[in-house]
């Protein structure tokens, strides 16, 4: 279990308080942009939240469910989703990459690649196993962030040889690459596993679980990453290399921008 006392991260990143989550989802969370992101998806999209698994920050009335994945699949529109998120004040908000038919059977899945800084082997902090041994499995440093950006750009270019509808998202920690080609939605589980393994063999430090489809949730673009107080933000591929999530105001929530940055 992650203990926040061992949690190291780049300067300026820190967990959001419940009040900050409330401010963010009440006034800053842009459902019009979320609608744009989800446009073109087949069927109804399911959302999910986790209230306090990593941060241990959650509303006391939700103590028993604080570490669980809560699925939001009954809603009248994105404003209703927002109001349900405001009830939970989660540390993390996701959507389900699966596509469902009218009987709620999964009939396809958006393909995605998850590149997280903690998976990067760091010259200073070592491998993920080294970090886990020190109980710092979710910690990361600025160097890992730089290395993960480089891997993201190279993986994007590699995938662009096969797919044409690629999107890259700053996840709040690392990066996600979403593949929106219809051929990718139709991949079988076995094909996804093969693809994930092939990408790993090529040296990309991805989370295989995400690409293989077992973890079907992915962080919702424009939501708040409550562990680091950063927005999950779609980027152009050519923005990735110079993207600076420590200082770039586009990904910094208002509750942190309002104050002078500490040094
Ligand atoms: Zn490091």
Q: 124 C-alpha vs ligand 1 centroid, how far in Å?
A: 5
Q: Ligand 1 centre and the CA of 132: distance in Å?
A: 13
Q: What are phi and psi of 254, to 5 degrees?
A: -55, -35
pLDDT at 262: 54
User: Which pLDDT score, from 0 to 100, does residue 4 have?
Assistant: 52
Mean of the per-residue pLDDT values of the chain: 93
pLDDT of residue 261: 53
Report the run of H or E that residue 166 belongs to, with start and end.
strand 166-170
Half-sphere exposure of 39 (CA within 13 A, CB side): 7
The Å distance, Cα 154 to ligand 1 centre, comes to 20
Confidence band of 135 (pLDDT split at 50, 70, 90): confident
Percent of residues in the chain assigned helix, strand, coil, to nearest 5: 40, 20, 45
Query: DSSP H helical segments within 9-118, as ranges?
Result: 18-23, 31-38, 78-88
**Could you tell me if 224 and 21 are in contact, meaning their C-beta atoms sit under 8 angstroms apart?**
yes
Are 223 and 232 a contacting pair, CB within 8 Å?
A: yes
Segment 48-107, tens digit of pLDDT: 999 999 999 999 999 999 999 999 999 999 999 999 999 999 999 999 999 998 899 999
Which percentage of the chain shows pLDDT scores above 90? Answer: 77
* Average pLDDT over every residue of 200-216: 93
Cα of 144 from ligand 1 centre, angstroms = 5
Distance (Å, rounded) from C-alpha 21 to C-alpha 49?
13
- Residues less than 5 Å from ion ligand 1, measured at CB: 122, 124-125, 141, 144
Q: What are 43-58's pLDDT values in tens digits?
A: 889 999 999 999 999 9
């Amino acid at each position: 279990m992650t203990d926040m006392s061992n949690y190291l991260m780049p300067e300026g990143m820190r967990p959001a308080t419940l009040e900050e989550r409330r401010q963010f989802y009440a006034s800053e969370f842009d459902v019009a942009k979320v609608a744009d992101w989800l446009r073109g998806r087949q069927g109804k999209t399911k959302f999910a939240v986790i209230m306090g698994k990593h941060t241990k920050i959650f509303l006391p009335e939700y103590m028993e469910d604080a570490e669980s994945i809560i699925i939001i699949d009954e809603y009248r529109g994105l404003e209703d989703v927002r109001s349900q998120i405001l009830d939970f004040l989660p540390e993390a908000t996701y959507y389900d990459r699966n596509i469902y038919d009218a009987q709620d059977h999964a009939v396809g899945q958006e393909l995605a690649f998850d590149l997280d800084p903690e998976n990067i082997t760091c010259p200073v902090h070592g491998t993920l196993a080294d970090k886990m041994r020190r109980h710092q499995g979710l910690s990361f440093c600025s160097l890992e962030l730089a290395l993960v950006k480089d891997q993201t750009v190279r993986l994007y270019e590699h995938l662009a040889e096969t797919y044409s509808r690629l999107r890259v998202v700053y996840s709040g920690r690392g990066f996600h690459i979403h593949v929106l080609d219809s051929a990718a939605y139709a991949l079988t589980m076995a094909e996804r596993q093969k693809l994930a393994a092939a990408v790993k063999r090529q040296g990309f430090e991805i989370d295989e679980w995400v690409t293989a489809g077992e973890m079907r949730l992915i962080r919702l673009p424009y939501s708040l990453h409550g562990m680091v107080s950063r927005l999950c933000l779609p980027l152009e591929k050519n923005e990735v290399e110079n993207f600076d999530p420590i200082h770039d105001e586009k990904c910094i929530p208002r509750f942190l921008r309002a104050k002078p940055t500490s040094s």
